[in-house]
Structure 1
Amino acid sequence: MEPLATRAEPPQRLPALPADAGLTWRPLTLDDVPAWFELVTATEDADDAIERQTAAELADQFKGSWRDPARDSIAGIDADGAIRAYAFSVFRPVTEGTQAPYLVGAVHPDYRRRGVGRALVAWSEARARQQLATAEANLPARIRLFADEHNTGMRRLAEASGYGALRWYVGMRRDLSQPLPDVATPAGLRVEPYSKARDEDVRIAHNQSFARDHWGSSPVDAEAWALDVVGGEKFRPDWSVLAIDEATDRVVGYLMSGAYDQDWGPQGYTEGWTDLVAVRREWRGRGVAGVLLTAAMRAYAAEGMQYAGLDVDTDNPTGALGVYTRLGYQREKGSVLYTKEI
């Protein structure tokens, strides 16, 4: 491969943003979170977004040594000081796998069809190319955009900006009022609740199973794990479970859960959500994933959740879609990954 600094074709300057849209442009700051959250809520409601964000999750975008909002974000402010549009290029460099910044943004419904969205995609892509050019590891690279499958406006914008649909992810849910399956725990395996004492072992198991075998995944370092996996306000350690090899006392499978109550009103039901589930290669094919998922479903049901939910890459090579279907999960709305390969 050519050096990533060459392949990324980073611009010296970021493209100008519309001067005729009634907006002034500057980076986001932590003080902007309340106004930023108002914009995000308005756009999510207008677009019937599958997943909703909280103000705390937006504030988390200012944490992490790899984040630089002063350079990686931009916001459009109207004459009254309200944020009407924003874009952010989020990039955590990795040492193996794929260098893959992802672009997020939104335009208030009142400011759409003025070229603002397309200009923001161009701006954030240019910033992503600059970020890629600074990465130390010369790896395959792509720039990513995600769109809800039903959001035709966002999908048209991605395609008009030169992005191609590459992967489809489907949301699935399991009705917890229905009897849960009786899944036997394989011999030599112990299932126990997640504990902070096991956290580093879980991260290592993640990097050796999920990051190795799931398309597009890269290892997660300790800082990113602490912030993005177990440090979020919605993480539920009491709904998370581990599979332990009794012979070695090693984590060989795990399931991490969250309670995203901001989604429950718009979707019309309560739900325990499985953020991550994976099993090490040597333990696959023995029903370990089913054991973990059933244990989590029991934890969700015990707190009155109506459904268990998760999403899955439809091309997942581990056969996860079949596992979920056999456990009673049913397909719901999905999302699409758009990319430019670098």
Structure 2
Amino acid sequence: MKTTAVLPEGYTVRPAEPSDAEALLDMLAGYNKAVVGFADTTLEEVAYCIDRPGFDRMTDGWLVLAENGLPAGYATTLGVGDRQLIDVEVTAHNPSVAAWLVDRTVQRAREMGRERGHAEVTLDAFVYRTDELLRAQLSDHDFTTGTTYHRMRIDHPEPVAAPEAPAGVRVRRGAFDETTRRAAHQATNECFRGQFGWAETPRDEWIEAHEDLPIFEWSQLTLLEVDGRVVAVRECTDAYIEAENCGHIGMLGVVEEFRGRGLAKFLLRDAFALDAAAGRAGTILLVDTNNPTPVLGLYLSVGMNATLVFDGWRRVVQVT
């Protein structure tokens, strides 16, 4: 691991404020354009992430300012579930600033683990495959790649026929009451338990996070039931409407014993039909290619194509 980094002379650091959102967007969008060719973020997303549920911007984020007062780097640590899993984000054009920010995230992750009484914590970072600067910094700080993600997209130049639900399956659209939300939360954990980067979140925190997310409405949650049991969940959001006029499947899961029955394919085609009917140019989702199910093949089989590749970087650190 590298020795502890220091900020370049003249640079300062403080927590980000909600009023920093526009300046921070300029820095983040400029960085992303250099790496992948487009902004890949919006003002709404940046503003939300500065002050989202479960994130303490005073202790868990660092905004580095250059001598001219403009943002030169930004990093966050977001504890998931019982805070044994920590999601890390780092952006900076200057390698010295990036190294300093990675140091801070590791240090803060240790503190978060200590506060919860953990012996160790796991840090996860989600990084563009083409982001050579950040990949090098994470490698130098003892992170290793754990999985690969593909952002998938299908275009809708014409109307899409709505699929018929599989036999014996009841489709429930929307989660407007406590009972439905409880069932959705439980089924979501069943679907993703044990997968890379997944940590179970208490139900009240899960509901609060969804209530506070500006790109989500409870009407965008769809459940599939078999014999009264929720066995599949699809969560859509408005994440890509502003930038690409596309629908977004933020999460799609099927309980293990009900896989292989066409439920995921139905939920995909149903989302395509809804997006096309709403005038969306396409539908976007993210897939973990290290998933225990052959989901990448499924998405390719329904006409989706990969548009971006990301890697999941991970490091386990001892708290004491």
TM-score (norm 1): 0.81
Q: 1:334 to 1:19 in 2, by over 3 A?
A: closer
Give the partner amino acid of 1:254: V
Q: Secondary structure at the match of 1:53?
A: coil
What residue number does 2:225 align with?
244
Q: Which ranges in structure 1 are unaligned for 5 or more consecutive residues?
A: 1-14
Task: Tell me by how many angstroms 1:298 deviates.
Answer: 0.7
Q: Deviations over 1:233-270 (max 9, x none)?
A: 2225555422123x32x322111112223773xxxx53
* 1:307 lines up with 2:292 in the alignment: no
Report if aligned partners of 2:245, 2:281 keep a CA contact under 8 Å in 1: yes
> Which stretches of structure 1, 4 residues or more, deviate above 6 A after TM superposition?
none
Report if aligned partners of 1:176, 1:306 keep a CA contact under 8 Å in 2: yes
Q: Distance in 2 between matches of 1:330 and 1:323?
A: 11
Report if aligned partners of 2:29, 2:39 keep a CA contact under 8 Å in 1: no
TM-score (norm 2): 0.86
What residue number does 1:123 align with?
104
Residue from 296, 299, 309 that aligns with 1:321: 296
What residue number does 1:272 align with?
247
Q: Distance in 2 between matches of 1:340 and 1:213?
A: 17
Residue from 216, 229, 233 that aligns with 1:235: 216
More strand by share: 2
Residue from 88, 92, 95 that aligns with 2:80: 92
What residue number does 1:204 align with?
186
Q: Secondary structure at the match of 2:85?
A: coil
* 1:161 lines up with 2:146 in the alignment: no
What residue number does 1:27 align with?
15
Task: Tell me by how many angstroms 1:59 deviates.
Answer: 3.5
Give the partner amino acid of 1:77: L
Task: Tell me by how many angstroms 1:34 deviates.
Answer: 3.2
What residue number does 2:7 align with?
18
Instruction: Among all aligned residue pairs of Structure 1 and Structure 2, give the percentage whose two residues are the same amino acid.
Output: 23
Report if aligned partners of 1:241, 1:295 keep a CA contact under 8 Å in 2: no
* 1:102 lines up with 2:82 in the alignment: no
Task: Tell me by how many angstroms 1:277 deviates.
Answer: 0.5
* 1:83 lines up with 2:71 in the alignment: yes
Count of residues paired in the alignment: 311
Q: Distance in 2 between matches of 1:137 and 1:181?
A: 51
Q: Distance in 1 between matches of 2:189 and 2:38?
A: 28
What residue number does 2:57 align with?
69
Report if aligned partners of 1:176, 1:307 keep a CA contact under 8 Å in 2: yes
Q: Which ranges in structure 2 are unaligned for 5 or more consecutive residues?
A: none
Q: 1:135 to 1:333 in 2, by over 3 A?
A: same
Task: Tell me by how many angstroms 1:271 deviates.
Answer: 1.7
Report if aligned partners of 1:191, 1:243 keep a CA contact under 8 Å in 2: yes
Q: Secondary structure at the match of 1:285?
A: coil
* 1:256 lines up with 2:235 in the alignment: yes
